[in-house]
Amino acid sequence: MKTILVTIAVLALAGCGAPKSSTETASQAPATSATPAADAGTGAAAAAAPSQIAELTNQTLIYECPKCGMMFDAAGTCSMGCGELVATEVSYSCPKDNKPVAQAGQCPRCPMNARVDKTAMAGGVPPNKH
């Protein structure tokens, strides 16, 4: 009986030392680095790297990898190493009446989900970026 109680106590205490989530550790990280010169190159590269878009909501311009199809919020190269991203215009429309809607998800005029249409832009860049 004592063995069972000791085992339960050890397991309970082990759970108290569970690793923190990445959001908890990020919020507790120091604001400045001990070696700012070493972080200067990597910090700029990380800030300039495009972020992946997991699911379209209301974006009208995305950058898509022509090889793997991953979508990103800014120009650059695919995080999978496929190549350069292509600027792509996104539009949403009602599948029933083909009229535009504001965002992905359920259409405000019918019970179906809005249709998402993607069109690669000529030259791979948006018109205002020439």
Q: CA quadruple 103, 108, 114, 119: dihedral positive or negative?
A: negative
pLDDT digit string (tens) for 76-92? 999 999 999 999 999 99
- Contacts with 51 (C-beta within 8 Å, 6 or more apart), sequence order: 72, 73, 74
Q: CA quadruple 59, 49, 81, 23: dihedral positive or negative?
A: negative
Structure confidence at residue 47 as a pLDDT band (50, 70, 90)? low
**pLDDT above 90: percentage of residues in the chain:** 55
Write down the number of H helices and E strands in the chain: 3, 5
**DSSP designation for 10:** H
pLDDT digit string (tens) for 62-80? 999 999 999 999 999 999 9
Whether 50 shows a pLDDT value over 90: the answer reads yes
The model's pTM is 0.59
